[in-house]
Structure 1
Amino acid sequence: MAHIVILGAGLGGSIMAYELADQIRKEDRITVVTKDPAYHFVPSNPWVAVGWRKREDITVDLAETMRKKGIEFRTVAAEKLHPEENRIALVDGSSINYDYLIIATGPELAFDEIQGLGPHGGHTQSICHVDHAETAWEAFEAFCRKPGPIIVGAVQGASCFGPAYEFTFILETELRRRKLRDKVPMTFVTSEPYIGHLGLDGVGDTKGLLESEMREKHVKWMTSTRVKRVEEGKMVVEEIADDGSVKAEKELPFGFAMMLPAFRGIKPIMGIEGLVNPRGFVIVDEHQRNPKYPNVFGIGVCIAIPPMGPTPVPCGVPKTGFMIESMVTATAHNLGNILRGKEPDEVGTWNAVCLADFGDSGVAFVAQPQIPPRNVNWASSGKWVHLAKVGFEKYFIRKVKKGTSEPFYEKATMKMLGIDKLKEPRKG
C-alpha cells in the first residue's frame, strides 16, 4: 500500500486528487493537505473586484466532494517539508508521512519585495486571491465616489500578466457603465518589454491586438518599467533601457492601483537544496518528478520554469490552466505506472491556452508549444471571448463540485482550432 499526499488544493491540487483517484490501486490512499478548506476559482477574481461576482459564486467546499471520492482531506497548513524523512510537519504540531508527495501549493506572493506594494499594509490592490479581490472591490467602490487616475499592471519579476490586462479592461468597462470613464485617466505599467509579451515573447499578434485595445479605450502604457516604491496616492517607477540602465524615473499619481506581484515558493519548501531553485520553485524533470527526490512531484504555478530569455526588466513565465491540467494528467499517469512497477512515460504538453476577458469582449490565444518556435501561434479577439470565459467559469466550478477530472482546455481548443491533438511533448 502507498500513501500519496497532495500538498495544496487549488486549481492543480483539486483536479490532481480527482485524476489520481482514478489511477491508483485499490490498496493505495490519497490525502490532500491544504490550509484553505474551500476552492476559489481564481480566474473570476477580476470580476469579484468590480462587484460582478460574490465570493460564494466562485467558491466550492471541497470536504464533501473529497469524501465521496475516498480522499482524506486535512485542512491544516504545512510548517516544513522534510523530504529526507518523507514527512510534512504541520502548523498544529502534528506530522503527516508519505510514500509519494505531489506539491501543488501555488506561489507565495512577494509583495514585501517592493516598498508599499500590496493590500496588506501597502497602497495597491491585488486580484491574486479572492480575499484580495474583495478588498479591491471595497477600495474601488470608495474610489468611484471620488474618481481619479488608475494604474494597473505587473511589477518586475511577475510571471502572470494576463489578469493585469483583463482587469484593466474590466475596470474600463465598469467605469463606462457608471458614466465615470471620462473622469479617470488609466495607465498600464508593466515589466514586459512590449505590450502583449505576456512572459511568452508574444503569442500570435497579441502585441497588435492589445495595443489596439488600449488605444481604442484610451489607456496609456509604460513597458520595461520597474516599480521602485509605492506611497499613498503615488507610484515611483523607473523606465529601463535595453542595456539595463535607468532611462527615467517618474512619479505616477493614482486614486486606485492594482499591481500583480512577483511570485516565489512557499516557506515550508524554501531553501531545500535539490528540491527547489533559489526562488523556492520546485525543480521537476519532464515527468514532473524532482531529480533529487524521485518520490516528490510538482505541478502548477509552484514549479520552476526558466524565463523565455533576457529582458530589460525580469519577466517570469506564466503557467496557464491548460498547462496545469496537462501537468496533472501526466503526473497521475506516471504515478499510476510507478505504483505498478513501471517507469513514468507521460510528458506534459506545456502549451499555453488563455481566455482573457475584457468585460464585454476579450482576447484568446494559443501557443503550441509554449516556447517558440511554435506549430500553433494564434490569437484572436471579440465578444465571443467574454462569453467563452463565462461558460468556462460555470463548467469548471461544476467540475470541481462533482469531483470529475475530464480535461476541458484540450477538448475546447482542439475544437476551436480544428486540429486532431495538442499533446506534443514540451521542449527541453
Structure 2
Amino acid sequence: MLSRTRNSAVAAAAALALTAGLAVTGAHASGSKPGPGSSGPAWAAAWAASPQRASTGFKPNWSEDGFSGQTLRQVVRVTEGGDRARIRLSNAYGTSPLHIAGATIARTKKGGGAAVEEGSVRRLTFEGRRSVEIPAHGQLSSDEAGLGLKPFESVTVTLHLARTTGPATFHAQSFATSYRADGDHVADAGAGAFGESTESWYFLSGVDVRGDRARRGGGIVLFGDSITDGFASSTDLNRRWSDALAERLAKAGSPRPVLNAGIGGNLVLNDSAWYGERGTARFGRDALDLPGVGTVVVLEGLNDIGFSESDTPTYKPAPKVSAEDLIAGHRKLIRAAKEKGVKVVGATLLPLGGSDHYGERAAKVSDEFNEWVRTSGEYDSYVDFDRALADPADAERLAPEYDSGDHLHPNDAGYAAMARAVDLETL
C-alpha cells in the first residue's frame, strides 16, 4: 500500500501514476519525448537500474540510514551515445519528499575511482533550478546537460543531499562502487573527499541521451532476477550479461542500447522486502516505460520455484509455485508488452542442479516451464539458456566453466556465454 500524504488529491494522482509505471511529479516526466520547449530527437535510455525499497540486503549498504549533509557519487556505464545527457532520479519508495541540493554529471576518470575528468563536470538543473524536491513515490528527469557521451563510456553522477533523506530508494546490488563524502562536493574533480564506498546505487534510476549521435528507438531491456542483475560478476568490470550483449551487438555492426532491469532475488508472482516488487507489478515502470525501448528479454522464475526448496530461504513464506502458476505470470508480461507495441522475447531458465534452489519439484517445474517457452509460440521468440549453459555431462547442472561456484549463478564467462546464445535477429 502507498503511504498517505497530507493532500489526498496528490496521493491519488501519485498512486495512479505509480501503478501505471509513469512519472509522478517533478521537473520533467521520464518519457522519451523532449520536454516542453525542447526540439530535436527524442530521448533514449542509455543506462538504467530498477528501484527497490530500503533493505539490509546481502552486503552492507546505506539505504536504511539514508543520507544527511553528504555528497553521493555514483559511476555507471552507458551503452548508447549522444550529444546531450540527462539523469532520472527515483523516490519511488520514499515516504517523504527528497531534496536534491545540487547535482552534476561528468565523464569518469579512467582508473580514478571517484575522480572525474577535469573540465567535464556539468551542473545539472531541474526546470532551470539547481535544487529540486522529489515528492514521496515520485520520480523526475533533469534538464539536458551539454555533455557528449560515447557508447561504453563511464559516467559519474554526483548528488548533494544536504537534508536528511530518510530511508533511500536504491538498487541493492550494483556490482559497481559508489562513494560518499561529508559536505558539498558535487563539483569536485578529485576523489579525495570520498572516503566511504558501497556496492549499491541510490536514487539514480537512469541516464538518457539524445542528439544526432543517438540512435532513435530500438533499445533492449533485459528483465529478470539476480542472473540478469549480474550476481557474482566482477565488480567495476561491467561483466553482466547485459554488458556482454551490448558489446556483441556493437561488434556485429548493429549497436543498440542494452538496459538492465534485473533485481537480485526478484520473483514473477510475489513481492519481497529485499527483492523488490513482483515482476508483474514492476514490468511497466522498469522495462516498458524506459525511453526508446523496442524489445524486452524476460528471464525470470528460478526464485519463484526455488525459494521453497531452500533449508534457509531468505524469502518467507516461500509458496510452492507450479508451472501453470509461473506461465500465467509470464502471460501477463507478454500481454503488457504487446499492448505497448514492444517485442517480447522469452528465455528458458538456467540449469539449477546442485544449488540451494534445487529439488525434485523445482526441477520438474523448471522443465515444464522451459518446454512451454520453447514450444508455445506465445513469446515473439525465445533464447534457450537452459541448453546453452548446461553441463554436457549432466544437463541438470551449469557447465563447470560457467559456474560461479553456487551452481545457480554464472561467472563472467557464463554471462558472456549467455550473450552468445542470443540469435541477434530475434531482437
TM-score (ref. length: structure 2)? 0.26
TM-score (ref. length: structure 1)? 0.26
